[in-house]
Amino acid sequence: MLVKKSQGHIAVDTQVLPHAIYVTTAGTTGCSSAVRMVNNAKENLSGVKDILVDAGYTGRNFAMQIKDIIGATVEVIKR
């Protein structure tokens, strides 16, 4: 039996309530998967104004894609 590794992305609000979940194979980049998750759940995320992400989601292209899809700004949280 072949078992592929997977990774998950989850969008939660400030009360940690989930609004979008997206699971991909482990070989997929985090940014592209997160963009697909936001695009698939854009109705649920239409009221979102700011998205906080960790350092794995940096990049102007990522932030611009999120802005284009739901109009939200992306802020990278540093530890």
Q: Which residue has the tokens 């998205």?
A: 51
The whole-angstrom separation of Cα 30 and Cα 9 is 8
4-47, pLDDT tens digit by residue? 788 888 999 989 999 999 998 887 777 889 999 999 999 999 99
**Of 23, 28, 36, nearest in space to 62 by CA:** 36
46-66, pLDDT tens digit by residue? 999 999 998 888 888 999 999
